[in-house]
Structure 1
Amino acid sequence: MKTAIEVLDAFENIRRAQRAGIYAPHKPLLILLALARVQHGEPRLVEFTTIDAPLKQLLTEFGPSSAAKSRHYPFWHLATDGHGALWDLSGPREILKRPAGATPSLSELRDQHIKGGFPVDIYEALRHSPGLLQAVATRVLDAYFPATLHADIAATLGLELDGPNEVRDGAPAAADYANANRRRRDPGFRDRVLRAYEYRCCVCGFDLRIGHIPAGLEAAHIQWHHVGGPDIEANGLSLCALHHKLFDLGVFTVDPAEHRVIFSQHAISGGRGMAGELQFHGQPIHAPQHTDLLPAPQFLAWNTQNVFKTPARQVTTAGATPRAAR
């Protein structure tokens, strides 16, 4: 059985699923799904057919718009990460002997009953080393997702992130080790962004204070910090807690040309209609104090491509024909 440090080191060797500005959370979501199965006492290997639907749901809710279409890719390609130390595949020999780049189709994975899961030594370590599974899950969440989404992802999976107090096999040191390589955040980022927008939500204008302290206001990264988004005002928006959550879920984005709030067609407001959140659709954000502090086009483009749930709703300009938002 691997030690806690060895297990965490194996998960550090996941190849980053980000190329040419494309953010793909397929592997981390599959890993979190597999971790939840271990926590729930499920068998080590699972047929792709069994996890196809939950993996599709995860990618639909927490990935880019087209992510679910390629959900079979991580199930196959994770087996080549860390020279095969992180994922086992089981199935017909003629399928498993394919080159790594010859990804089986969705139907092949289903019809051939291909199974996947953690190798025995990692599976046993996750089961028997108290606190290790939670340390791995927390590290994956921190490395690939903004904090606003951690609780939702865990709740969707039924994944319990609070580990036991008793820890063996060096797990406390392992947790520290897992945190050591995190990219440091600039502690001044929040204050600079909130000040730029005069301590109010740039979408709804929320500006509650408790005494002199802003309450419920957060500095949101437009391009997420953990995928290289810098801690600068041009990559930040001052948002209330609600709109920060909606922004990170891809419910709305900001048009780089006119800085209007653009909602997704997937955002349905129920009986509240335009009196609810959709009243802000097509409206310009509350501008920062200086044009140099406006959201930069390259960061908005990243967000639209990787987070926003396309297609966008139409924007009606006063006195003009409705136009499709981009």
Structure 2
Amino acid sequence: MTDNDVIAAFDRMRVWQQGERRAVHKPLLVLFALARVNAGETAMIDWNVAEPHLKDLLEEFGPSGSSKTCHNPFWHLKTDGLWQLQGPSEIISRPASATPTLTELRTLHIQGGFPPELQQALARSPQLVATIGRRIVDAHFPASIRNDVLTGVGLPEEVCEGSSFREKDHRRDPTFREKVLLAYQYRCGICGHDLRLGRQIIGLEAAHIQWFQAKGPDAVPNGIALCSLHHKVFDLGAFTVLPQSFQIVFSQHLVGSDEAAGRMLAFHGAALILPQSRDYFPQPQFLDWHQKWVFKTPARA
């Protein structure tokens, strides 16, 4: 297989989707497997070894509760031609729809990994691993947390610093950032941060409420001006904004020292600093999406 053949094969990976729901199970499994190839690990991995890693990744980067189905991609990725399974024939020969239980995967020590032709192509080219890893993370996660995802799965810094430019395959509105910052009068909607150096705006970003990767539009009502810190924790699900009241609510999972947590949780229960026009207010449909598919439940009282 040529490098282009391998890239095309991973680009064709089918990810479960129902409307605008997030499903990052397969991308996280593939990224984890790529990191193993990059580290020179064996081609196949026992489910008992993979399970705790996938659960941790889904708890950190997936929707709340998604770790309960962490075994699904281990079984279903084979239908994309990117995965092979080894184990007792009575399990391996099942139709794709007959997903094994967690108990079966554990007790029978089912193993999974890239097919030999993919494994060989990836093993001989660290740059190919880097390119595919970046393309996958670009397609499924916002820019604010992509490097966190890559380092979380175990890919090295040189991969994190690369770029596949995959987003150029999709039409983006280059004026989205400026429109959102203007709507919020160039200040963070959470803490009011508005630092400038001359004409240069420092540390202020336009955050998508419903991620572009989940069909969120480049429209001002789907954006909030946030400082870089609040943008990252918003995309990680540390807080959300309630529809109607625009109240800021933090997750119980956000913890830290009294000083660090205190600075962040000082905004818990406060109202979002709203845009200058009602036309720009965050729309409930986008805030609902963030609460369902990004926010780490349960919320603080």
**Into which bin does the TM-score normalised by the smaller protein fall?**
over 0.9
Q: TM-score, normalised by structure 1?
A: 0.88
Secondary structure class of the residue paired with 2:182: helix
2:230 aligned with 1:243, yes or no?
Answer: yes
Structure 2, gaps ≥5 residues long: none
Aligned residues: 299
Q: TM-score, normalised by structure 2?
A: 0.95
Q: What is the distance in 1 between the residues matched to 2:230 and 2:135?
A: 25
1:98 pairs with one of 94, 97, 104: 94
> CA shift at 1:308, angstroms?
0.2
Letter in 2 for 1:258: S
**How do 1:176-325 and structure 2 match up within 5 A?**
179=166, 182-272=169-259, 275-314=262-301
Report the counterpart of residue 73 of structure 1 in structure 2.
72
> CA shift at 1:15, angstroms?
1.0
Letter in 1 for 2:251: S
Pick closer, same or farther for the CA change 1:46–1:273 going to 2, 3 Å. closer
User: CA RMSD, aligned part only?
Assistant: 1.7
Secondary structure class of the residue paired with 2:240: strand
Report the counterpart of residue 57 of structure 1 in structure 2.
56
**How do 1:163-182 and structure 2 match up within 5 A?**
179=166, 182=169
Letter in 1 for 2:148: D
- CA shift digits 1:212-260 (9 cap, x unpaired): 1211000000010112110000100000000000000000000001101
Letter in 2 for 1:47: D
Secondary structure class of the residue paired with 2:206: strand
Contact 2:9 2:82 in 1 (8 A): yes
Pick closer, same or farther for the CA change 1:109–1:180 going to 2, 3 Å. same
1:141 pairs with one of 113, 121, 137: 137
> CA shift at 1:147, angstroms?
1.2
Structure number with greater Rg is: 1
Range with greater deviation from structure 2 (270-279 or 140-149): 270-279
Pick closer, same or farther for the CA change 1:176–1:208 going to 2, 3 Å. closer
Pick closer, same or farther for the CA change 1:268–1:180 going to 2, 3 Å. closer
Secondary structure class of the residue paired with 2:68: helix
Letter in 1 for 2:296: K
Letter in 2 for 1:144: H
Secondary structure class of the residue paired with 1:19: coil
Letter in 1 for 2:277: H
Q: What is the distance in 2 between the residues matched to 1:244 and 1:8?
A: 31
- CA shift digits 1:250-304 (9 cap, x unpaired): 0000000110111011112431277411010110011101011011111111111
Secondary structure class of the residue paired with 2:169: coil
Structure 1, gaps ≥5 residues long: 164-174, 315-326
Report the counterpart of residue 11 of structure 1 in structure 2.
10
